[in-house]
Chains A and B, each alone.
Chain A
Amino acid sequence: MANSKQIAKPKRSFPDWLRSRDGQKVLVMVAFMIVPLVLLFVFTYLPFGQMFGFSFYNMKYIGARKFVGLKNYSKVFSRKDCFGALKLSLYYMLGSVVQLGIALYLATILSFKVKGGNVFKGLMFFPFLINGIAIGFIFKFFYTRGFVFDTVLQWCGFQLDNLPYWLRDQRINNFSLVGTSVWRYFGQNMVLFIGAIMSVDSELYEAATLDGANRFQQFKYIILPSIKTIITLNVILSITGSLSAFEPPYVITDGANGTGTYFVVMHEIAHTQQKVGLASAMAIVLLIIILIVTGLQKLFFKYVFKSGEDEDPRAAIKREKQLARISSRKGGAAV
């Protein structure tokens, strides 16, 4: 707000202009956009630029800095704990596929009339609203030997001796961590899918039910086409999300026993070891990878959905035809 006054002052020499529509327009634009743009610049683009600069130095946050050229970048690729950590992303990608599958399945169930549907929805959604640190404690507790998870499995007939250490055993601990992330987000994905399914005209379902289409057919011919976009979007988001996986290992294992994802390693290097240059190089490398992946996704989207947008009415007609076909088939069988 203070800035807008400063800008307004020199304009006093054109008071008429300022009072005119155009002057008003510029004034309101500057007054309304200056704060968010300054915040955006200071907290996003300035650090982004600085990080690029840091990546060529050997430095700590405080003290002398030494220019080392591309050395940090070659370290990112040669150090085993840096670039190699990216392969853990595969676990998280797998997890997000499972998560989307569960979410889609439950969303389909809940989008039909189900007794107590809202309660189920609420219970499954709530994990999304728990803060990250609490989740860390909850799952350290959950996975501790002989505690919650082991007890539940013993109820199901497993022997404690046959169960692994969920967070220590390197064959299994990454799956345990990915499980927590699935636990946290499947309800949220489900709510998104329900929203998308509900946006379909409910008459379509009624018509289909009247015509005798069963649930699976309704899913295939009405629900799936209508939420194709949001599913694709989520699959795509999960790829970048998996590359930058951070929270589960950070709050639960602190990256110990081979669970340190790329960003956990970067966090450790930046804030504990204070090798800011190397951490910056790591960040830049991953950002470039993410940008490339995002770019590819945009292309993919354009290729797959650009034509889809034009064809939308046609797709709808096709869907209706398919429905008609089902109903005629069903009708034929019932009569």
Chain B
Amino acid sequence: MKKTNEQAIAGRIIWMIIQYVSLLFFSFVAVIPVVSCVITAFKTDTEYQNTNVMTLPESWLNFENYIRAFDKANMGRGFINSAIILVCVLLISTFIGTQLAYVLDRFKFFGNGLIRNLFLFASQLPGVAMQVALYEIMYKLHFINSMVGYIILMCGTDIISIYIYIQFFENIDYSLDESAIVDGANYFTIFYKILLPLLKPAIVTSCILKGVGTYNEYYCANLYLQDKTRVNTVATSLYTFVGPLGSKYNLICAGVIISLLPALIVFITCQKQIYSGLTQGAVKG
């Protein structure tokens, strides 16, 4: 009787140790590749050549690599372009996404299910494969090296936010619409004056997800925004380091760290929304 109690306590302690050891181990695994980059980014050229990569830098205030990387990779331009792209894509896609979700949720019409399925199917096509043919279309539309073209491309199919919006609309009582209709409001008024303000939490969530995705997108950006001196984004400006600079890792690491700072800041400030947005999107998708 007493023995089982002791065993239970011992078991709990062992389980506790296993828990923390696993958490520490996997956190270490998750962090070490990035931490090693931070360490290296603070080293001077001679220091980088003469010490082991995991030896701490002499000075944590040596920002020279950051400045050089920022310059070499034209990252100032990249940040401006990425900001323009982000603002436009988020505005437009929120606008068309909420409108589409409104119609799909509130109106029963022939083809409603078909349209939903078209979007769902589109989301299952691997993007890399689609670009083989899309490249020609973008070329014909004169969208190569065009920020406008890239922005329009990025505003396209985005099943996750549409699902998040539809889910949100489902939870807004239809009687709200009905009473507005009785009062004589038309559908545009209902959408803009009544429903859109209620949708704010969903908009914030999906904008954060879409924002991080757009900021990190590099494949299409590299393919369609080829002129890296003019239309580079933050992500594609890192391509500067492919080639002759390819072994100057103190420089490269600094560039990498700069490029992931915005994502880090968004993550720290909006952790909750990111988690909940992901969960919502995944359960439905």
Contact = CB atoms under 8 A, between A and B. Distances in A.
A126 B122 contact: no
A36 B132 CA distance: 22
A325 interface: no
Contacts of A46: 137
Given A120-B27, A131-B263, A61 B256 contact: no
A223 interface: no
Given A33-B100, A191-B279, A106 B26 contact: yes
A263 B132 CA distance: 11
B22 A105 contact: yes
A148 B30 contact: no
A124 B137 contact: no
A32 B124 contact: no
Contact of B22 (A106, A147, A230, A283): A106
A187 interface: yes
B118 A40 contact: yes
A114 interface: yes
Contacts of A45: 118, 122
Interface of B is mostly: helix
Interface in A288-320: 290, 294
**Size category, A interface:** 35 or more
Contacts of B134: 43, 47
Contacts of B100: 32-33, 36
A127 interface: yes
A67 interface: no
Contacts of B157: 36, 39-40, 43-44
Interface residues of B, number: 88
Interface stretch (B57-65, B167-175, B215-223): B215-223
Interface string A10-48: 000000000000001101110111011101101111111
B252 interface: yes
Interface string A209-246: 00000110000000000000010010000001000101
A47 B137 contact: yes
Contacts of A187: 30
Contacts of B26: 102, 106, 120, 124, 186
A267 B259 contact: no
A65 to B, nearest CB: 11
Given A126-B264, A138-B256, A141-B36, 6 more contacts: A29-B107, A39-B155, A50-B137, A133-B236, A195-B275, A283-B133
